[in-house]
Amino acid sequence: HSARLAIDPSFVVGPVRRGTFGSFVEHLGRCVYTGIYEPGHPTADENGFRGDVLDLVREMGVSTVRYPGGNFVSGYRWEDGVGPREERPTRLDLAWHSIETNEFGLNEFMAWTQASGTTPMMAVNLGTRGIAEALDLLEYANHPGGTELSDLRRKHGVEEPHAIQLWCLGNEMDGPWQLGHKTAEEYGRLATETARAMRQLDPNVVLVACGSSGSGMPTFGEWERTVLTEAYDEVDMISAHAYYREEDDLGSFLASAVDMDYFVASVAATVDAVGVARKSPKKIAISFDEWNVWYHQEEDPIKASGGRWDKAPRLEEDVYTVADAVVVGNLLISLLRNTDRVHSASQAQLVNALAPIATEPGGPAWRQTTFHPFALTSRHAAGEVLRVAIDSPGYENKRFGSSDLVDAVTTWDADGSALTVFVVNRAQDAATRVEVPVGAFGDVEVVEALTLANDDHHWRASAEDSTSVLPKPNTTARVEAGTVSIELPPVSWTVLRLR
Ligand code: AHR
């Protein structure tokens, strides 16, 4: 196969946002306990934070981290997780049918964000709770002192306010599985009133309203319209969540980014229609704050727990294939391509639960296949995102009809003279040769090309072998007469760095 990409430095979509490379730590399974936090682990620091996991999080280039849920937040009492550990209550976590000991809470998470060099995205509980508790949490976290709750934080050893800026107004409130699930009207009112109150306390907050928990939800579209008809003036972003998985048809799965593009375009159109009706100059951005490949997405938590109430059970521990990693890389291509609208994104999740990082209690931490495209995209996307006109052969698949064999995005950092192409080959039968005329960028040379692929598209990393399939130098990349060419193996993800 062969394909051609047309790029030009003046085709700017928008800036590369660090916020695109966010992740998510939920009190779910072993994401927190024996994931990021495991006192007594050989690599743990004085706070009990696993050093091996911290190293991998830094290597991955994670920016913001959403916390503490997820479905968990809709039953969470934030105050259970602060103050002396021995006084913290043990509770039932209804979302994941687990026991929550509250050993790890707000102040530990904030210390962990400092240790990992990440910034927090905090969610308030609008399931079993409301405005008053959201305000209490905001006062505890962000008010300097001199009030009961801010002084309580200081008493708990945190003198300076956390200054948390980014807040989610609940989680997936459109989903019937959500504790305190609401209609769009009910949620729209609650989100509006909570947002207004939070801004009265701290005008610096950036607020995300819940959009649909998937584009397949029966209320998708109508939910966004109704919520924003109430909340338009009070919020900055609306959330989008999407999970993909390989079913019987690898071709459809490899084209998952087509759905993500469609999802972003549909949410943008819906929220803009609300803006037009209100004659508002304001644009609501999208926070794509849950996205990933996830195989256990329909599993009932009660069944998954075997009916037991365990602490940190093994839940949602997907083991990812090379094809999954190609899709993750392609979803990042989609998020970057939509940088004009998607201002924040979080891969769900960070450790163990549907995650790029896996750990064993007391044992090693390792990179899943999906770690690599995330880490390399976060490291090398810089400057501005350029629109790419793709001229690619198509292939038939069940879900989308015909999809392009090749998908790509480009970033251009004029200051550092770095031109970077992120590209996937979805062909299963053969390599695809890709040509990119780069004359408009002056004299260009190849700095590096790395490709993730394997003859067995379903190879998975494990504690025993996480290194035999890694992104490898692609030696076919060359520049001739102002055109870059590269050969992409079947089912592959590539970063091509040019200067
Ligand atoms: O990321 C796992 C779960 O997926 C989250 O808790 C929930 O928000 C979504 O349904």
User: Rounded to the nearest whole angstrom, what is the distance from the C-alpha of residue 439 to the centroid of ligand 1?
Assistant: 45
Interatomic CA distance for residues 112 and 236, integer angstroms: 26
- Mutation to probe ligand 1, out of 28, 124, 169, 172 (largest number of atoms < 8 A from CB): 172
| 395 and 345 within one domain | no
User: Rounded to the nearest whole angstrom, what is the distance from the C-alpha of residue 292 to the centroid of ligand 1?
Assistant: 11
Q: Tell me: the pLDDT tens digits for 252-296?
A: 999 999 999 999 999 999 999 999 999 999 999 999 999 999 998
* Closest atom of ligand 1 to CA, residue 213: 10
| 163 and 232 within one domain | yes
154 located within any domain: yes
Last residue of a domain, which of 348, 380, 412? 380
User: Rounded to the nearest whole angstrom, what is the distance from the C-alpha of residue 335 to the centroid of ligand 1?
Assistant: 19
What pLDDT shows up at residue 296? 86
12 located within any domain: no
Last residue of a domain, which of 380, 405, 427? 380
* Closest atom of ligand 1 to CA, residue 71: 6
| 420 and 369 within one domain | no
* Overall size of the chain counted in residues: 499
Q: What percent of the chain has pLDDT over 90?
A: 97
| 124 confidence band (pLDDT: 50, 70, 90) | very high
What pLDDT shows up at residue 298? 81
| 127 and 182 within one domain | yes
Q: Tell me: the pLDDT tens digits for 77-114?
A: 999 999 999 999 999 999 999 999 999 999 999 999 99
What pLDDT shows up at residue 306? 87
Tokens of 227: 């919520």
User: Rounded to the nearest whole angstrom, what is the distance from the C-alpha of residue 172 to the centroid of ligand 1?
Assistant: 8
Q: Is the pLDDT of residue 297 over 90?
A: no
User: Rounded to the nearest whole angstrom, what is the distance from the C-alpha of residue 411 to the centroid of ligand 1?
Assistant: 30
* Closest atom of ligand 1 to CA, residue 316: 2
329 located within any domain: yes
- Relative to beta strand 342-347, strand 285-293 is parallel
Q: Is the pLDDT of residue 25 over 90?
A: yes
177 located within any domain: yes
Q: Tell me: the pLDDT tens digits for 474-484?
A: 999 999 999 99
| 262 and 322 within one domain | yes
What pLDDT shows up at residue 303? 85
Nearest CA to ligand 1 atom 4: 70
Nearest CA to ligand 1 atom 7: 70
For the chain, the average pLDDT equals 97
What pLDDT shows up at residue 219? 98
- The domain in which residue 417 lies consists of 385-498
What pLDDT shows up at residue 350? 98
- Mutation to probe ligand 1, out of 241, 244, 293 (largest number of atoms < 8 A from CB): 241
What pLDDT shows up at residue 302? 84
50 located within any domain: yes
| 411 and 301 within one domain | no
188 located within any domain: yes
1 located within any domain: no
Nearest CA to ligand 1 atom 5: 70
Rounded to two decimals, the ipTM of the complex is 0.99
Nearest CA to ligand 1 atom 9: 70
Nearest CA to ligand 1 atom 2: 70
- Mutation to probe ligand 1, out of 26, 96, 289, 315 (largest number of atoms < 8 A from CB): 26
* Closest atom of ligand 1 to CA, residue 28: 6
475 located within any domain: yes
| 397 and 365 within one domain | no
- Residue 398: which CATH number? 2.60.40.1180
| 281 and 405 within one domain | no
| 310 and 272 within one domain | yes
* Closest atom of ligand 1 to CA, residue 96: 6
* Closest atom of ligand 1 to CA, residue 69: 6
Q: Tell me: the pLDDT tens digits for 137-193?
A: 999 999 999 999 999 999 999 999 999 999 999 999 999 999 999 999 999 999 999
| 392 and 376 within one domain | no
Nearest CA to ligand 1 atom 3: 70
- Residue 370: which CATH number? 3.20.20.80
Question: Could you identify the residue written with the tokens 């620091």?
Answer: 45
User: Rounded to the nearest whole angstrom, what is the distance from the C-alpha of residue 441 to the centroid of ligand 1?
Assistant: 42
What pLDDT shows up at residue 305? 85
Q: Is the pLDDT of residue 198 over 90?
A: yes
Tokens of 221: 């579209």
Give the side-chain half-sphere CA count within 13 A for 77.
9
| 416 and 353 within one domain | no
User: Rounded to the nearest whole angstrom, what is the distance from the C-alpha of residue 369 to the centroid of ligand 1?
Assistant: 21
**How many folded domains does the chain comprise?**
2
| 421 and 342 within one domain | no
User: Rounded to the nearest whole angstrom, what is the distance from the C-alpha of residue 210 to the centroid of ligand 1?
Assistant: 13
- Mutation to probe ligand 1, out of 27, 97, 290 (largest number of atoms < 8 A from CB): 290
Last residue of a domain, which of 345, 363, 380? 380
Catalytic residues: 172, 290
Instruction: Give residues (CB < 6 A) around ligand 1.
Output: 26, 28, 69-71, 171-172, 213, 290, 348-349
